[in-house]
Amino acid sequence: MHILKSLIITVSLLCAQQQFASAQAPVAQPTTASANKFGPEGLSKGSLANQFDHLNYISKNNYDFKMVRKTNLEIIKKNVVDTVSKLQKEINTLKSASSNYGSTTKGLQDSVQILKDQLAQEQEKVDSFSFLGINTTKSAYSSIVWIIIAVLLISTVTFLFSYRKAKVILMNIKKQQIKHKKSLRYSVKKHLKKNKL
């Protein structure tokens, strides 16, 4: 019985020791893939996320808390400050490049506006010319020419109708003149015959 009691106590102590050891020790040893991730240079190399993962891994557990060595915390702080300053420099570089692009864009927009103005002036020169000493656009000149053509056409048609009407009247007058001459001759002959008799 005494042996049985000793055996039970020994087994229970071994189980308690194993539970206590598993609570104090890290959860698992890194595999070969994660061994590279959590190597000795883990606080100096890699991204900030990887450095924090390494810090979490090498820190000791104390119930719900992690105990971090002050030197490790200073290394991470230095890395974060370096990364932030590097990113700040990159942001400033991008801002200056952006402002340069903005001024370049403004210059190009001004050049485009100048070119548009010059194009409008050239188109105006192409579309206009001097007619009788007056600057005239092609559309105004075309309108003037068509108005002159219309006036000449109306004048010609009016003249032709007037000429035809005058010719008809003249023909009627000539017919009446011939008729009157004949009648006058007849009257003169008749009168002469009367006088002779």
Evaluate if residue 96 carries a pLDDT over 80. Answer: yes
In this prediction, residues 129-151 reach a mean pLDDT of: 84
Query: Exposed (0-12), middle (13-18) or buried (19+): which is 116, by Cβ within 10 Å?
Result: exposed
Question: Model's pTM, two decimal places?
Answer: 0.38
The residue to which tokens 């300053």 are assigned: 85
Per DSSP, the three-state class of 147 is helix
Q: Which pLDDT value is given to residue 2?
A: 56
Evaluate if residue 23 carries a pLDDT over 70. Answer: no
Task: Sketch the domain layout of the chain as residue ranges.
Answer: 2-99, 137-196
CA angle 36, 34, 40 (to 5 degrees): 40
In this prediction, residues 137-166 reach a mean pLDDT of: 92
The residue to which tokens 């000791």 are assigned: 60
Q: Which pLDDT value is given to residue 18?
A: 54
* Confidence label for 95 from pLDDT (cuts 50, 70 and 90): confident
- Cα–Cα distance, 157 to 173 (Å, whole number): 24
145, 152, 153: which is closest to 129 by C-alpha?
A: 145
- Cα–Cα distance, 68 to 40 (Å, whole number): 15
Whole-angstrom distance between the N-terminal and C-terminal Cα of the chain?
208
